[in-house]
Amino acid sequence: MNRLHPRSAVLSVARAALQGGFFGFFGGSVGTGMLGLPAFAVPLLGLLGALTFGGYALARYFRFRYELDGDTLTVESGVFARQSRQIPLGRVQNLDVEQNILNRLLGLAIVRFETAGGSATEATLDAVDEAEVKRLRNYVRTHDRDEAAESAAETAGAVSGTATSGRSAHADLPGVTGPTPAHTGDAQTANDFEDSASASDTEPRDQPDGSLLFAFDQRELLTYALVSVRPAAPVLTLASLPLGMDVVWAVLRFNATLVGASLNGPVIRWLASSPESTRLAVFAAISLVQFLLLALVVSVALTVIEYYGFRLTQADGDLRYERGLLRRYSGNIPLEKVQTVTIRENVLMRRFGYATLAVETAGYSGGNQQSTQGVAVPSRPARKCTNWPVTSNRSATSISTARRSAPVGAISRAFRWRRPDSPQSPTPSTRWCLRQATGGSPPSSFSRSCQRHTSAGDTAASTSMTRSWRPGAGSGGGQRALCRTTGSRRCSSRGRRSSAAVTWRPWGLTRRVHQACSAASLGCTTSTRTPQKNSETRYGTGSPHTLQGCGQATGATRTRSQPRAHSTIRPYTSSVASASPSPTRTSAFFARVSATLIRR
């Protein structure tokens, strides 16, 4: 079993002792004031607090051990309540590394392991040195690769017996890179990607740092920072204004003189004395513009700090990112763990040909968006949302003719959103979630489909099933079934928020959101119908995503049968599950997207 790095012990003990000291000091001063303790009790209590907290931190350090062994990460922790945790490495969604400034000076890093379970980070190693980070990362990565090779071999073996066409197409996939000629269902897409995929094939496989997919240079970063509007920036600016109140008053005073007010006192008195309305309006406009400019500067600064030195690389089955000016973040995202791919663009971005490509895994719980890796990619406007499922091919073609828009075109093409009954429908490849919307069987009741999933043991997304009943209710009636799916909770709560944030953003800056999710990772689906007659279908995965205004095209959108629109959650039906791809398919898709990114 390994311990954390000794330097980190020094750091955490010092931090805890400082906290404890402050606590004791504060308690002591309150005590002398209210309870009449003698004056020397203050430093004494401070010392006591420092010793207690520091001692506890030291004990925690000595109780914390971890080990990577075989295919498991074991973590033992806890001073009073002891905990021993085992995480199968195959379940690790992300491995993230964070270095704040202090850690960077000491050559340490905080390593976090995320799995899809639980609401907090599953294992935090705070902190280890950089050589150990490398070792952990390599260990997890090589384990994943061995695992993938193993399972691919297994699938191939199993399929050679039964050999349905769709399945064999899956088996023919060589790992994560690109399609093969035998993969007929996806032939068109295959052609589109062939050159790029083979280009990525020629990359040496065991290259330690992988191939660079994307990196910002300074100018691009600045452009991206300018065009990506952060809604948090005005709020942050407003909140921090009171800190510089003198400056604010001075600026307001200057504005007032600018509009020609005769000042002989503070600005507030001039405002209170009800000046002429035109002057007031001009004054307000000037102040507002100044505020917005300030907010823009804050927004740019935040974005630059967050994305400084962004690099996205691909090494075998993993995406690897690093970013950050003050705090450096880096991490590995195994491709087969990717739940959704999102392309987002606002008006400004569209004008300058940028978009954000976000990748999400199931590893992060609510609020922690640090996994969503935003990348600016060149893009081009396309059709409205209502046209997506029907005209995606057309718009995709128009996109692909544009010179600098490869990634968006690639993703749109890979979607292949169309009705399953259309003659040229390439069945095995229409694997994305819209397929479910157009071709899903009629929704059964929640509990029934839930049970079917667990009993059939198919690829449904329910994570566990619970039945409960009360005494007196027989085995037939009065039961309650509860399906937990990967995304159910987010579908119900965060999903709604996300839809408000993404599709109904009040000032309409974010217009278009493309999202892809693999059907295998689909957790549940929510259909709602808003008072404005906009049908909307929601797909829960590790993260929610929403399609709005696509009602007619997405056939599964239910209309009137739902008593409470927002809370309806149902797992996707098994007919779709049978058509769902293996995780390797997800990686194949991703490899293609990445390959296209390389081409650029």
Partner 1 sequence: MCGSERFQFRSGAKPLIRGRPLDSDMESLHPRVRLLWVLSTVIQASVLGVIAYLVDRFAVSLPQTVVVGGWVVLVLLGVAHAIAAHRIWRFDLQDDALFLLRGVVTRTDTSVPYVRVQHVDTTRGPVERAIGLASVVVYTAGTRGADITIPGLRPERATELREQLRDLANESEATDAV
Question: Which range, of 378-386, 427-435, 480-488, 567-575, touches partner 1 by CB under 8 A?
Answer: 480-488
160 binding partner 1? (CB under 8 A):
no
User: 471: helix, coil or strand?
Assistant: coil
Sign of CA dihedral 360, 362, 366, 369: negative
Report the C-alpha gap between 52 and 27 in whole angstroms.
14
Among 12, 94, 115, 373, binds partner 1 (CB under 8 A): 115
In the structure encoding, which two tokens stand for residue 391, read together? 């005209």
In this complex, which beta carbon is closest to partner 1, that of residue 116 or of residue 319?
116
Total residues binding partner 1 (CB under 8 A): 53
196 binding partner 1? (CB under 8 A):
no
Element (H, E) at 47: helix 41-63
CB-based contacts of 441, cutoff 8 Å, min separation 6: 573, 575, 576
Name residues contacting partner 1, limited to 438-457 (CB under 8 A): 454, 457
Report the C-alpha gap between 515 and 539 in whole angstroms.
10
155 binding partner 1? (CB under 8 A):
yes
How many Cβ atoms sit within 10 Å of the Cβ of residue 487?
Answer: 32
318 binding partner 1? (CB under 8 A):
no
In this complex, which beta carbon is closest to partner 1, that of residue 365 or of residue 530?
365
CB-based contacts of 32, cutoff 8 Å, min separation 6: 38, 39, 41, 42
User: 523: helix, coil or strand?
Assistant: coil
Report the C-alpha gap between 164 and 342 in whole angstroms.
32
Among 257, 466, 567, 575, binds partner 1 (CB under 8 A): 466
In this complex, which beta carbon is closest to partner 1, that of residue 27 or of residue 117?
117
Angle at 302 between CA 223 and CA 504, to 5 degrees: 80
Among 67, 146, 154, 201, binds partner 1 (CB under 8 A): 154
Report the C-alpha gap between 572 and 563 in whole angstroms.
19
Site string for partner 1, 489-508 (x = CB under 8 A): xx------------------
Is the distance from CB of 569 to CB of 492 less than 8 angstroms? yes
Q: In the bound complex, what is the minimum distance in angstroms from residue 482's beta carbon to partner 1?
A: 9
Q: Are strands 318-323 and 311-315 parallel, antiparallel or unpaired?
A: antiparallel
Question: Which range, of 87-95, 233-241, 307-315, 441-449, touches partner 1 by CB under 8 A?
Answer: 87-95
Among 6, 244, 366, 420, binds partner 1 (CB under 8 A): 366
81 binding partner 1? (CB under 8 A):
yes
Among 340, 342, 486, 568, binds partner 1 (CB under 8 A): 486
In the structure encoding, which two tokens stand for residue 205, read together? 């496989």
534 binding partner 1? (CB under 8 A):
no
520 binding partner 1? (CB under 8 A):
yes
Q: What are the residues binding partner 1 (CB under 8 A)?
A: 71-72, 78, 80-88, 90-91, 115-119, 122, 147, 150-151, 154-155, 362, 365-366, 454, 457, 459, 461-471, 475, 484-486, 488-490, 520-521, 542, 583
